[in-house]
């Protein structure tokens, strides 16, 4: 069945990846999964040949790949299966990357959006790159977001640069309690203009808005910088959840409109959408 083939492809290509690129594990796995799911969707025969070739090159493959699969969490396996099932139905996967200095809260924002939880406690820096999937409903349509959590540390920069090109949207974060993370936003934007697609959707997020007492960057400063670069802006908190759903939903809506813009439909304006949603939440407790 397709599911079994998908699982085998996943096993085999995961192993292939691990043997080739030990340093950036999760990153390449996702790419491989995308590749193998494309084979399943578009050319089953090609997939079988590829699978056969890989197996003959690596006789120990099934054993090792089984071990690899067992080391994944259910959540991760779910992500792979979402990619596979989406690809078999030829639907669009939208890649969204989170960028910004180390410890600004990229992983926490992602976990808050994906699982509705806050990762408090000890800070564990992301190594390389990781991804999670979530399906968002926009006007009764399903929009699949593949969200890439990048490492903010400088030493991983060359790894993450390679992924900018595939992203349809970028969430650029700073920490409102750390001035250096705000000052570095200009450098991040320079990198984005160098490596990302020209029409990539960019959104600036000032995170940790719950830490009012430690705030060093005002809301107005964030807004001014965003205006200068013509990108939407909001302050978020992974801890309380404020504006996290709104940020991802606005991105999903923008990408949906780009993917299937009907000729009679008015052009979607992300700035206006965010402002109207913010006003709604001010008056009625709104989107968290």
Contacting positions for ligand GTP (CB under 6 A):
102-108, 119-120, 123, 125-126, 151-153, 207-208, 210-211, 237-239
Nearer to ligand GTP by Cβ, of 5 and 109: the residue is 109
Residues 6+ apart with CB under 8 A from 55: 12, 61, 62
Between 95 and 210, CB nearer to ligand GTP: 210
Closer to ligand GTP by CB, 79 or 209: give it: 209
CB of 102 to ligand GTP, least distance (A): 3
CB of 88 vs ligand GTP, minimal distance in Å:
32
N-term to C-term CA, the chain: 41
Quote the least distance from Cβ 238 to ligand GTP, whole Å: 4
Residue closer to ligand GTP (CB basis): 178 or 253:
178
Q: Which is nearer to ligand GTP, 59 or 120 (CB)?
A: 120
* Spatial distance between the Cα atoms of 49 and 52, rounded to a whole number of angstroms: 5
| Paired strand residues for 142 | 137
Instruction: Report how far residue 175's alpha carbon sits from residue 184's, in angstroms, rounded to the nearest whole number.
Output: 11
Give which of 90, 84, 135 is closest to 256, Cα–Cα. 135
- Calculate Rg over the CA atoms of the chain: 20
| Smallest distance from ligand GTP to CB 112, Å | 8
Query: What is the DSSP annotation of 89-135?
Result: TT--EEEEEEEESTTSSHHHHHHHHHHS----SS-----SEEEEEEE
Nearer of residues 200 and 238 to ligand GTP, judged by Cβ: 238
Q: How far is the CB of 125 from ligand GTP (least distance, A)?
A: 3
Distances (CA, A) of 224 to 52, 204, 220, 233, 252: 56, 11, 6, 9, 24
Comparison of 13 and 108: residue with beta carbon closer to ligand GTP: 108
Q: How many residues does the chain have?
A: 288
CB of 105 to ligand GTP, least distance (A): 3
How far, CA to CA in Å, does 264 sit from each of 106, 121, 143, 253? Answer: 37, 50, 21, 17
**Neighbour count for residue 216 (Cβ, 10 Å):** 14
Closest approach, Cβ 137 to ligand GTP, in A, equals 25
């Amino acid at each position: 069945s397709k599911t079994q083939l998908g699982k085998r492809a996943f096993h085999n290509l995961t192993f292939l990846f691990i043997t080739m690129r030990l340093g950036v594990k999760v990153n390449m796995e996702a790419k491989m999964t995308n590749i193998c799911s494309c084979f399943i969707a578009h050319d089953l025969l090609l997939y079988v040949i590829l699978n056969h070739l890989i197996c003959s090159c690596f006789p120990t493959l099934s054993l090792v790949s089984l071990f690899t699969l067992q080391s994944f969490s259910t959540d991760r396996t779910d992500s792979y299966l979402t990619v596979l099932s989406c690809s078999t139905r030829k639907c669009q996967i939208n890649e969204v990357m989170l960028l910004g200095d180390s410890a600004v809260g990229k992983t926490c924002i992602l976990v808050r959006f994906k699982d509705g939880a806050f990762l408090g406690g000890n800070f564990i820096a992301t190594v390389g790159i990781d991804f999670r999937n979530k399906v968002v409903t926009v006007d009764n349509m399903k929009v699949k977001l593949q969200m890439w959590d990048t490492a903010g540390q400088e030493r991983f920069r060359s790894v993450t640069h390679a992924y900018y090109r595939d992203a349809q949207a970028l969430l650029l974060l700073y920490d409102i309690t750390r001035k250096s993370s705000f000052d570095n936003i200009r450098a991040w934007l320079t990198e984005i203009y160098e490596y990302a697609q020209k029409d990539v959707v960019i959104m600036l997020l000032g995170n940790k808005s719950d830490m009012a007492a430690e705030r060093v960057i005002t809301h107005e400063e964030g807004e001014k910088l965003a205006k200068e670069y013509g990108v939407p802006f909001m302050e978020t908190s992974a801890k309380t959840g404020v504006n996290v759903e709104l940020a991802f939903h606005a991105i999903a809506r923008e990408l949906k409109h780009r993917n299937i813009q009907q000729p009679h439909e008015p052009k979607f304006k992300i700035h206006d959408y965010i402002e109207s949603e913010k006003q709604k939440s001010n008056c009625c407790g709104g989107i968290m």
